[in-house]
Every structure is written in C-alpha cells, then in structure tokens.
Amino acid sequence: MTIRTRVAPSPTGDPHVGTAYMALFSLCFARQAKGQFVLRIEDTDAARSTPESEQSILDSLRWLGLDWDEGPDKPGPYGPYRQSERLNIYKSHVDELLDKGHAFHCFCTQERLSEMRATQMQNKETTRYDGLCISLSKEAVDEKLAAGEEHVVRMKVPNDGTCVVKDGLRGEVPIEFSQVDMQVLLKSDGNPTYHLAVVVVDHLMEITHIIRGEEWINSAPKHMLLYDYFGWDMPELIHMPLLRNPDKSKLSKRKNPTSIRFYQRMGFLPEAVLNYLGMLGWSMPDGEEKFSLPAMIEQFDVSRISLGAPVFDVDKLKWLNGRWLREDLDDDGFADRISEWAYNRENLKKIIPLIKERVDIFSEVSDMIAFFAAGLPDITETDLEIKNQSADETKKILQFALWDLEAVTLWQKEPLQALFEQLAENLDLKIRDVLAPMFIVLSGKPVSPPLFDSMVIIGPDMTRARIKHGIDVLGGVSKKQNKKLEKEYQTLRRSRA
Ligand code: GLU
C-alpha cells in the first residue's frame, strides 16, 4: 500500500502557522514511508474562501520548503485538488446514502432549530438535531420536495451506544453517539458541508493517514459512520495537539502573530521556522533541538510525537533562528539570504519612488527606509501622544483600523486609502487625525514616506502586527474594553451598510 497523506487548508484568511504544522507532519509521515503528500484546498465555504488566501497559503508553504506531490497547481491522477471544482460529485453520494436509509431530508426551519437548541440548552442537554424529519413518510417527503420546500440532507446518527475512535497517538477514544449531531451533509444550496466533502474526497484520493488538529477528534464519529455507510475503509487518524499561546489558550492572532507571512517579514529563516514547528510536536531520538527537514523525515516516527500542549513561543523561535543564522550561514550565505529577504533590487525599486523626492544624498536614505525592513518599531506611549486625541481615542482608531484591515483581500493603495477615508468619516474625524497614529505605529515616526504605498510594501501581516503592537504599547484592550469597542464598531458597520 502506498502511504498518502494530505493537508487540507481552508483558504479563508492568512496562511496560518497551524497549517504549516499539519503540513510538516503530514509531509514527514509520507516522505519517510516513500509515499505521497497532497495539498488540497478545502474551499467548501464559498462565502469565506478567496483566491488571494489560497495563493498565499501556497506561497507560504513553498517558502517554508514544504513541497507537495499533488495540489491545485500540480495536477495528478486524483484531481481536481480544489473542493469547489468537485461539487458535482457529492449529489450522487448523498443519493446513495438516502437510498440506503443512512441519510434523510430535513425541512426544519431555522426558527424551529433555534428553539430546539434553546430548549436543549435550558435543559442542559447536548445540542443536537432531535430527528423530527426522520419520521416523515416517503410520500410526505416527495410532496415537500415537489413543492420546492427548502431543505438540507442530514446523516443519521444512532441515539445511543458508543463510537470508539482509534487515534494514532491516543489509542482508543470512546465518544457517546448521543453527543454526536445529525450532521448536515448537503446544504440547502445543494453544496456539501466539510464533513461530507472531506470523507468522500479523502476516500477518492486514497488517503491512508489523516493528520489533523485535535479539534477535529469530536467529528471523527461522524466521519467513521460515513465511511461505514459507504462501505469504505477508514484511513488512520492522527490528531495533533493544538498549538497554544503562552497562556495555554488556543493559538490565536489576538495574542500572537499566526500568519506565516509575518514570520517571513520578520526575517526568520524558513528552515528555522520548520525546525521550530517540528520541535513543538516531536523530538529527535538524540534529543537535539536543532534539526533539518531531511533529518526529521529520516528519523520520523509517530510514536515520538508528544501529546503535551505545545506553546508557540516567539522568543524560543528567535533563539533557534539565531542558531541557524550563526551555525549554518557563512558570510557569503548570510549576504545571499539577507538580500533574498529584503535588501534586493526588486524591493528597492518599489521603495525608491517613495523617497526619491525627499532625499538629496544617499546617506539620508537608510534612516528613511529602515522601517520597511524592520520588525515592530521601538515606540512608547509618549510617542503615541497625538494632539487633541486621548490615548483611548487613539487606541480606538487603531483597533477599528485593525478590524477593517483584517477584512481587506485586495492589499493595494486605493482600497487602503478608501478604507481610511471611510473610517475617518464614520468616526467623524479628519483623515489626518486617523492617520496620525498610523504613521507612528507603522514607521516609528510622525512622518514617513506616503503611508498607503508604504503599507503595500510592508504587507498586510506586518502592517497589522505593527498596529497591534501600537495598541499593546497603549496598554492593550481588556476583555471589557474589547466588548464595548466591538459593539461600537458593529454599530458603525451597520450604519455604513
Ligand atoms: N479545513 C480543515 C482545517 O483547516 C481541514 C481539517 C482536516 O484536515 O480534515 O482544519
């Protein structure tokens, strides 16, 4: 049997370090067994998926050196490798389940489902579809379908009994069926949900081992039932422990930069980032912390994956990166890599038009452009004192800008400018008042080369990381403040719509 693994990111945002973590372990597992590693784009959520996000996932994984054997850009015998391009195959699979009596049409309205959930919550029961539509007669269903009544298709799940999930790291994990929802398989628009799509496509792609985050373990019973209903062999499951913030909560961008592009911008070496991700979940037999991808592949052994909660600690990553810089790059290598990173002709050519008018001699250049290649600027609360603005107002401007920027998919000058003009209008401020703190958090100074052009060059992840840093310098946003700000932000958004 050829071992086949896959990573299946949803292209709904920044390329997340968690995706790289799953990709790394899936790749090591497959390569060690001389098998294949597949990249599949899980874009079943059409409303949230974007081509820009897909592209940056591909770019970031490739930057890290995680190369796949088959993927959306690498046609293979099991394509297409984008879920959205296979939407036509699911209907027949659902029909098969309906015919065999493993699935049913559900005509319940949103109102009924909300009421049902509210009652279940009140009674402290698991929120779970109560099975009402299972009892509809075939005639009743046909009649409703003929009348064009809106419906979904759900899978049947036993009301009692235990499902024993076999996990490559945890052994047998018993989960009561009464805790498992009768999952929607086909949405009312006729498209599959993740749960149906992932099972069907993993099977069609002959995936033998599924390595994914432990947040999916509770979904395993649904998937196991589906494999069983279809009469297919179940791939082996390996649920990796989730990456965590230093406070042990699930790694989140509110507390830690989570985008791979941020680490690229900061000037981390891809081999160090990979090494760090490897080290978070796994250890070399000799205990050495610094190891390369080929060494990890050679030595890879699932039994050395640790089940502890791995904390993503940027300081530790920095320490490891320092070792890679010093131990693996001679001066020539260092020079090559630093120019590959930022000090290259292509980058300079983007920056020069922004500063040419402002300098007379070269020695003025480096100070002016340093912020393009810097990390988080060294600023204090005093630097962020803006005329006629309280610190809370400044913080609000930064936070609202950050939320607005998180939704930007087209990172170009014009949309950025329009976004800030709109924000100023919404806040009833002059644009220069909104931009004043931006200059400081982005460049470290009250003046800088043109702001929107600079943001384009700095890139979305670093721009947002610097704004977030500015908010932190002002004392951060407490949970309570966040609630208040979010409310105000939503009101503004609604009035804008
Ligand atoms: N799109 C899911 C995720 O990114 C895939 C989970 C899986 O590997 O099945 O978490």
Q: Which residue has its alpha carbon closest to ligand 1 atom 5? A: 8
- What does the alpha-carbon distance between residue 31 and residue 349 come to, in Å, rounded to a whole number? 40
Query: Low-confidence residues of the chain, pLDDT below 50?
Result: none
For domain 85-234, the CATH architecture is Alpha-Beta Complex (3.90)
Alpha helices of 123-163 — where are they, by DSSP H? 138-146
* Catalytic choice (187, 253, 290, 445): 253
- What does the alpha-carbon distance between residue 474 and residue 379 come to, in Å, rounded to a whole number? 10
State whether the beta carbon of 261 lies less than 6 angstroms from ligand 1.
no
Domain ranges, ordered by start, for the chain:
4-81+244-326, 85-234, 342-497
State whether the beta carbon of 10 lies less than 6 angstroms from ligand 1.
yes
Nearest to 26, CA basis, from 38, 42, 40: 38
Q: How many residues does the chain have?
A: 497
CA 118 to chain CA mean position, Å: 30
Question: What was the pLDDT predicted at 447?
Answer: 85
Q: Dig out the tokens for 69 from the structure.
A: 């054997």
Residue type, 285: P
Q: Domain 4-81+244-326 - what CATH class?
A: alpha beta
State whether the beta carbon of 212 lies less than 6 angstroms from ligand 1.
yes
Question: What was the pLDDT predicted at 206?
Answer: 98
Question: What was the pLDDT predicted at 420?
Answer: 97
CB atoms within 10 A of CB 312: 22
- pTM reported for the whole predicted model: 0.92
Question: What was the pLDDT predicted at 263?
Answer: 96
Q: Of the residues 42, 215, 227, 234, which should be mutated to test ligand 1's pocket, given the most ligand atoms within 8 Å of the CB?
A: 42
Question: What was the pLDDT predicted at 254?
Answer: 76
| CATH classification for the domain delimited by 342-497, as one of 3.10.180.10, 1.10.10.350, 3.20.20.150, 3.40.50.720 | 1.10.10.350
DSSP-derived letter for residue 409 is: -
Question: What was the pLDDT predicted at 395?
Answer: 96
State whether the beta carbon of 13 lies less than 6 angstroms from ligand 1.
no
Q: Of the residues 16, 198, 258, which should be mutated to test ligand 1's pocket, given the most ligand atoms within 8 Å of the CB?
A: 198
Question: What was the pLDDT predicted at 497?
Answer: 63
Task: Convert 285-349 into a string of H (helix), E (strand) and C (coil).
Answer: CCCCCCCCHHHHHHHCCHHHECCCCCECCHHHHHHHHHHHHHHHCCHHHHHHHHHHHCCCHHHHH
- Is position 253 annotated as part of the catalytic site? yes
Task: Convert 478-493 into a string of H (helix), E (strand) and C (coil).
Answer: CHHHHHHHHHHHHHHH
* Contact call for residues 155 and 97 (beta carbons, < 8 A): yes
Burial 129-166 (b: 16+ CB within 10 A, else e): bbeebeebeeeebeebeeeeeebbbbbbbeeeeebebe
State whether the beta carbon of 8 lies less than 6 angstroms from ligand 1.
yes
